[in-house]
Chains A and B, each alone.
Chain A
Amino acid sequence: MADSYNFSTSAYRRKIRMHSILRFIFCLILTIISLIPIYIILINSTRDSADIIQSGIAVLPDVHVLDNYAKLTSETFANGSYARAFNLWIGYRNSLIIAGSSTILSVFFSAMTAYGLTVYDFKGKKFATTFILMVMMVPTQVVSTGFLEFMATLGLLNNYIPLILPSIAAPAVVFFMLQYMKSSFPLDIVEAARIDGCGEFRTFMQIALPIFKPAFAVQAIFAFVAAWNNYYTPSMLLVNGDVNMKTMPMMVAGVTGLTTSTDYGVTNLAVILSILPIVIIYLLLSKFIVKGVALGAVKG
């Protein structure tokens, strides 16, 4: 009796371990699938184009990364078509300006809107809240035709304003902040501040904003990544072809779209450089991000 019991538990344990190992292997395969496209491009960015053409995929990196970078930035290589389509530092700068300011605006004004809707009582408050929830899922893309025509009328094409300013109204971020305030913002604090003679706006800036900090972090990361990765809106608005205005995704699309002068090493390098900052940010903040995915925020 005792023996058979022991046997069954050890068999059960063995079965569990087997399953655990099988699942681990499956996850390992998915890990490889998730990383291999990036890995191949990374390796190819260090190789000479002729070598890539001749021997296809390689496992280990080569030494040509600086040569490729020189070609990427050269005014003469391939008639300067790479340099015309892609300028690393200007691309980083432009994307940083747009993504950075959109992030700050969207997080700050969303907190402000959520604060206004939570702390104060006023006519139309319920309507305003319902409205924000209802439009949360409507992506800006569906109004792109009218948006673009309107911006053209205002003379705002080839301008960063229509890329940055709309982030002030980010319904999904407001929604998230509302949830956050409901669960972790003590309204007594506002009362206390009033009794101490603190102005309403100062209460928001100095007392409420610090409490919002954890919510800020998650929302800021996603807002930044979404703005940085956005290709659709900038490519619609920045139409004069001036490389000095282009964002990183536009530049990478420009390089991979070069049909006449394909140097595989150089193109691969451009692709890798375009994703480098965002991958570094991700690896540094991955714990935050993975937790934050399920917390709220809607991708734009």
Chain B
Amino acid sequence: MQAANGRRQRMVSYAKYGYMFIAPFFIIYAFFMIYPLINTFLLSFKANGSDHPDTWVGLQNYQYLLFGGETRNQNAISAEFWRSVGNTLILWAGNFLVQIVLSLLLAVWFSDVRIKIKGTGFFKVVMYLPNIVTAASVAGMFLMLFGNTKYGAVNSLLMNLEVILKPITFLNDTWTSRVLVMLIQSWMWYGNTMLLLLSGIFGIDPSIYEAADIDGSSGANTFFRITMPILKPIFIYVFITSMIGGLQMFDIPYLLHEGNTVKPALQTVAVFVYDNFHTVYNYGYSAAASMILFVVTAVLGLVIYRFNSDSTAPKKRRAK
């Protein structure tokens, strides 16, 4: 077929149609993605503040972000940046841990041919539901539920049950707020990850399980010796896509606060980029932080690319 195609094309060339069909994609991509990338790159070498936007400062922004500088402001921005990196990693790792344990367990259960669970279809639908709910609304929901005062739903419940005497300031304390974000993210994404892993498990030839069963392999043994090794590629895939998503984590940490400012314990790199651009007009820092994020993401993306170009690899949605 391919060869026949090629032969005909030597007589009448259809190549120009090929260019026409893919042109819109590349024009738009260049305009809205590649140029902005170049622009971000350029901005990262320019001064901060809206009053002198066109002064070149070389690698200064990167230097101050990564290593601090001489003045208090320069050291403060470095501290802020590293804190946001730390927050991002903590929030992502906590969320991933809860999410992966839960979804792996569910995926193995749902695909178990011996022990069937009633209503699997229903469970999948319900467990995926949180993933399609608007993140901004999810933040709003959990603000209502975990409000700092005794009027927050959880506080009022615990106080009515006399478990606690005074309200827990969930949103203000470093660790309660972080754990809350981790749990919200897990709540939103475990259904998605479960469905990804499940599709990986369904790709495993069932006769392998039958053989293991006949050989008297126990459930745990089958899981660690058969399911896990075969799941490894999709597991790595979920891990890396989740990390790429986690690095961009914005909506929930940005919106989960009472009062006007984002909680320092929840300031992720994406929040850092956003705030430095909008609130304090530090275009240079914002761009430099973006570029660092870009490089890390691109490296992670290359790993995924290696998976996708391998024909046996799973092609799945990204988990956060």
Which A residues are closer than 8 A to B by beta carbons? 16, 19-20, 23-24, 27, 30-31, 33-35, 37-38, 40-41, 44, 52-53, 55-57, 109-110, 112-113, 115-117, 119-123, 125, 128, 130, 132-150, 162, 165-166, 168-169, 171, 174-176, 179, 187-188, 191, 200-201, 204, 222, 225, 228-229, 231-232, 236, 239, 248-250, 252-253, 255-257, 259, 264, 267-268, 270-271, 274-275, 278-279, 282, 286-287, 289-290, 293-299
Kindly specify which of B87-95, B207-215, B224-232, B285-293 makes contact with the partner chain: B285-293
Chain A residues whose CB sits within 8 angstroms of the CB of B287 once the complex forms: 145-146
Instruction: Report whether B317 and A297 are in contact in the complex, using a CB–CB cutoff of 8 Å.
Output: yes
Known A229-B134, A299-B317; judge A259-B141 contact (CB<8 A).
no
Name the CB-closest residue of A to B203: A294
A128 to B41, CA, bound (A): 23
Instruction: Render B33-45 as a binary contact track against A, CB cut-off 8 A, 1 for contact.
Output: 1011111111100
Known A34-B187, A175-B315, A278-B134; judge A256-B39 contact (CB<8 A).
no
Kindly specify which of B65-73, B74-82, B118-126 makes contact with the partner chain: B118-126
Query: Is B318 at the interface (CB under 8 A from chain A)?
Result: yes
Given contacts A27-B119, A37-B141, 9 further A-B contacts (CB under 8 A): A20-B118, A34-B126, A112-B25, A137-B244, A137-B305, A146-B41, A267-B144, A282-B132, A286-B125
Instruction: Report whether A278 and B29 are in contact in the complex, using a CB–CB cutoff of 8 Å.
Output: no
Known A35-B126, A169-B33; judge A146-B19 contact (CB<8 A).
no
Query: Is B168 at the interface (CB under 8 A from chain A)?
Result: no
Instruction: Render B144-183 as a binary contact track against A, CB cut-off 8 A, 1 for contact.
Output: 1100000101001101100000000000000000000000
Known A44-B153, A136-B301, A146-B43; judge A252-B21 contact (CB<8 A).
no
A164 to B146, CA, bound (A): 35
Instruction: Report whether A20 and B117 are in contact in the complex, using a CB–CB cutoff of 8 Å.
Output: yes
A249 to B9, CA, bound (A): 50
Chain B residues whose CB sits within 8 angstroms of the CB of A55 once the complex forms: 156, 160
- A168 contact from B24, B128, B141, B199, Cβ within 8 A: B24
Chain B residues whose CB sits within 8 angstroms of the CB of A259 once the complex forms: 258-260
Query: Is B104 at the interface (CB under 8 A from chain A)?
Result: no
Majority secondary structure, A binding face:
helix
Shortest CB–CB separation between residue A168 and chain B, in angstroms? 4
Task: Please give me the 6 A-B residue pairs with the lowest Cβ-Cβ distance, nearest first.
Answer: A116-B21, A120-B18, A146-B40, A146-B39, A56-B156, A294-B199
- B136 contact from A144, A179, A252, Cβ within 8 A: A252
Shortest CB–CB separation between residue A271 and chain B, in angstroms? 4
A258 to B149, CA, bound (A): 15
Instruction: Report whether B14 and A57 are in contact in the complex, using a CB–CB cutoff of 8 Å.
Output: no
Instruction: Render B290-320 as a binary contact track against A, CB cut-off 8 A, 1 for contact.
Output: 1001100110111011001100000111101
Shortest CB–CB separation between residue B91 and chain A, in angstroms? 16
A121 to B116, CA, bound (A): 50
Known A31-B127, A179-B315, A204-B21; judge A166-B28 contact (CB<8 A).
yes
Shortest CB–CB separation between residue B179 and chain A, in angstroms? 15
A112 to B17, CA, bound (A): 11
Shortest CB–CB separation between residue B116 and chain A, in angstroms? 6
> What are 9 A-B contacts defined by CB distance under 8 Å?
A34-B130, A56-B153, A112-B21, A145-B283, A175-B315, A176-B315, A188-B1, A249-B136, A293-B316
Chain A residues whose CB sits within 8 angstroms of the CB of B309 once the complex forms: 130, 133
Which residues of chain B from 179 to 211 have a CB within 8 Å of any chain A CB?
A: 187, 191-192, 195-196, 198-199
Instruction: Report whether B139 and A120 are in contact in the complex, using a CB–CB cutoff of 8 Å.
Output: no
- A57 contact from B32, B114, B153, B290, Cβ within 8 A: B153
Instruction: Report whether B22 and A168 are in contact in the complex, using a CB–CB cutoff of 8 Å.
Output: no
Shortest CB–CB separation between residue A146 and chain B, in angstroms? 3
Known A23-B109, A225-B132, A298-B318; judge A40-B145 contact (CB<8 A).
yes
Q: For B40, B121, B128, B260, which residue has the most chain A Cβ atoms within 10 angstroms? A: B40
Instruction: Report whether A290 and B195 are in contact in the complex, using a CB–CB cutoff of 8 Å.
Output: yes
Shortest CB–CB separation between residue B246 and chain A, in angstroms? 11
A20 to B102, CA, bound (A): 17
Chain B residues whose CB sits within 8 angstroms of the CB of A136 once the complex forms: 301, 304-305, 308
Known A34-B191, A35-B129; judge A143-B245 contact (CB<8 A).
no
Known A34-B127, A121-B6; judge A44-B255 contact (CB<8 A).
no
